[in-house]
Every structure is written in C-alpha cells, then in structure tokens.
C-alpha cells in the first residue's frame, strides 16, 4: 500500500496513527521536522490543531515534552540496552500527552539484537504509542522490521527550493545532509579540490596529493563523499570502472575507523592511479 505523509497526518487527525512508522529519504532535518509535525498533531490540546501555542505544541517544538522520546546512536550504533530502556518507558502510563512518540533516529544503526527487540515491541504495541524509525539508509534496516513498519518516503528537495545552495545539493548527489555540509564548507572549495584530485590521478602526479591533502579527518570524509558522487555519475555513464567508486567507499570506511586519514588518502590515490587514472574525466 502506498502511504504518504499527507495521509499519515490525516490518520493522526483522526487519532488512528500506525504504531510503527519508517521515515526514509530526503535529509535528517526534513525527517526530524516531519516527526515533530506528527507529534504536535497527535498531542495538540486545541481544536484547530496543531495550534503551535498550547503547552503540548510548545513543549514538543522545544524538545521538552516528556512523552516525546528520542533514541540516537551512542558512538556508532544503537544497542539493545537503549531499546530495552525505551521499552520500559513505553509500557508506563503516558505523562501528560495523548500519544507517546518514540523517535529512533539513524535507525539503520540499530544492532541486530536491538532491531529484534524493537520487532518484539512492534508485535505487542504499547497503547497510544507511535514509534518512528528515521533513516537516510533504508537498506540498513533488517527486512523483518522494515516490513512491519508503515513506510513513508520523503523525496529529496528539488534544486529550485535550494536556490543558491543548488550547487551544493548537486555535489551532494541529491542528499540534503551532504549538501548542507558542502554548503557550510564552501561548494567552490569542494569543486576545486575534486578538479585537482582528478588531475593528479589522471596525470599520475602522486606527490601532487600532498598539496591537496585535507588537514582534518572530517574534511577528508566530506571530500571523499563528494568524490564518490562524481565517480558514481561517471560509473553510471560507463566512463570508468566501478572499482574507482568501490575503493573510495572503502577508504571512507577506513578513515572513519582510524586516526591517520593521510595514509588512507595516499593509498586511495595510488589505487585510483593503478586502475588507469587516465580513464577519468
């Protein structure tokens, strides 16, 4: 069944929300906004809901409503103990709202035991409770949990909405989260780095990599994500082998785990050169 956000809000107005929802697509900011919108419609105390002014609306919007719980990854994952502690709260009486909203943010980071614990909860849903799984990577959620949830897809914002940020969104491959980070960093700087990187790989100018080495690990990861977007495009057009993209992704994973991003970047540049860098461009 296809279900969209408009229908969900309608169901919420009629106090018939699904117990388990899966919000995916678009960016984390957009999905967070949607969860808040759902929560105020479910809990607003006025007739013209959401009024935005009653205590329930205000508390939800400021992140202070006792019946609005958020679970996020601790370091890299959401563990079973986090889900069990949420479960304990779920079966207690609702404090002051009409509905309890439990947001599992970055739900693709649920460990397998944590995801299975949630599945158990979904089988015996607590009363007047809505669990929202939110993720930019729906494939990262186990199929059994995914199939239990009512899925709501948020399409990425179009370039026009972004206006001046359209370049950043393009560099972000349509991913608003990456687009926002690129915009903060400076889209022009990113383009320049990409052009330099590709020139270095094409010409086999290995020492050139030191001249464009990102000083910070986070900056390095951002540039690699933008590089992956460019490479993905080239792979789709059949211009280069998928190996280019695969190694870029692997390198990003390695950099997330280890301290020395410089070494990982050097190795990546060497690999890209060995794949036949002159194919790029």
Between 17 and 277, name the residue whose CB sits nearer to Zn ion. 17
Query: From the CB of 39, what's the least distance to Zn ion, in Å?
Result: 11
Range list of β-strands (E), the chain? 20-25, 68-71, 100-105, 129-135, 150-154
Between 42 and 57, name the residue whose CB sits nearer to Zn ion. 57
Query: From the CB of 48, what's the least distance to Zn ion, in Å?
Result: 8
What tokens were used for 236? 């789709």
Between 46 and 256, name the residue whose CB sits nearer to Zn ion. 46
- The whole-angstrom separation of Cα 173 and Cα 196 is 19
Query: From the CB of 43, what's the least distance to Zn ion, in Å?
Result: 8
- The whole-angstrom separation of Cα 269 and Cα 264 is 9
Site string for Zn ion, 170-209 (x = CB under 5 A): ----------------------------------------
Please give the residues from 79 up to 118 whose contact with Zn ion meets the rule CB under 5 A. none
Query: From the CB of 67, what's the least distance to Zn ion, in Å?
Result: 14
Between 51 and 235, name the residue whose CB sits nearer to Zn ion. 51
Query: From the CB of 82, what's the least distance to Zn ion, in Å?
Result: 30
**Burial code of 82-93, b = ≥16 C-beta within 10 A, e = fewer?**
bbeebbeebeee
**DSSP state letters, 110-174:** B-HHHHHHHHHHHHSPPTTEEEEEEES-GGGS-HHHHHHSEEEEEPPPPHHHHGGGHHHHHHTTT
Q: Does 280 bind Zn ion (CB under 5 A)?
A: no
User: How many residues of this chain interact with Zn ion, rule: CB under 5 A?
Assistant: 5
Between 49 and 246, name the residue whose CB sits nearer to Zn ion. 49
Between 98 and 239, name the residue whose CB sits nearer to Zn ion. 98
Query: From the CB of 18, what's the least distance to Zn ion, in Å?
Result: 22
Please give the residues from 3 up to 62 whose contact with Zn ion meets the rule CB under 5 A. 44, 46, 51, 54, 57
Query: From the CB of 105, what's the least distance to Zn ion, in Å?
Result: 24
- Whose CA is closest to 37, among 57, 19, 16, 15? 57
- φ, ψ at 145 (rounded to 5°): -75, -40
Helix pair 112-123, 80-90: axis angle to 10 deg: 20
Alpha carbon separation from 84 to 91, 114, 115, 166 (Å, rounded) = 11, 8, 11, 42
Please give the residues from 247 up to 276 whose contact with Zn ion meets the rule CB under 5 A. none
Binding site for Zn ion (CB under 5 A): 44, 46, 51, 54, 57
């Amino acid at each position: 069944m296809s279900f969209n956000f408009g229908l969900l809000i309608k169901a919420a107005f009629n106090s018939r929300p699904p117990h388990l929802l899966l919000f995916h697509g678009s960016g984390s900011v957009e999905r967070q906004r949607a969860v808040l919108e759902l929560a105020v419609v479910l809990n607003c105390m006025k007739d013209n809901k959401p009024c935005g002014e009653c205590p329930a609306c205000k508390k939800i919007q400021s992140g202070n409503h006792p019946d609005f719980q958020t679970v996020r990854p601790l370091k890299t994952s959401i563990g079973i103990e986090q889900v069990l502690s949420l479960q304990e709260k779920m079966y207690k009486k609702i404090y002051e709202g009409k509905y309890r909203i439990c947001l599992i943010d970055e739900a693709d980071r649920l460990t397998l035991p944590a995801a299975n614990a949630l599945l158990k909860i979904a089988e015996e849903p607590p009363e007047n409770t809505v669990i929202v799984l939110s993720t930019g990577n729906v494939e990262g959620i186990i199929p059994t949990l995914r199939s239990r949830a009512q899925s709501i897809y948020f399409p990425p914002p179009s370039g026009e909405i972004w206006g001046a940020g359209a370049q950043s969104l393009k560099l972000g491959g349509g991913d608003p989260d990456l687009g926002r980070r690129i915009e903060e960093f400076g889209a022009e700087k990113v383009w320049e780095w990409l052009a330099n990187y590709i020139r270095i790989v094409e010409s086999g100018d290995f020492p050139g990599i030191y001249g464009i080495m990102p000083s910070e690990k986070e900056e390095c990861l951002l540039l690699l994500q933008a590089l992956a977007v460019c490479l993905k495009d080239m792979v789709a057009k059949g211009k280069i082998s998928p190996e280019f993209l695969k190694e870029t992704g692997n390198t990003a994973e390695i950099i997330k785990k280890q301290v020395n991003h410089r070494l990982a970047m050097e190795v990546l540049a060497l690999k890209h050169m060995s794949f036949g860098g002159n194919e790029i461009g």
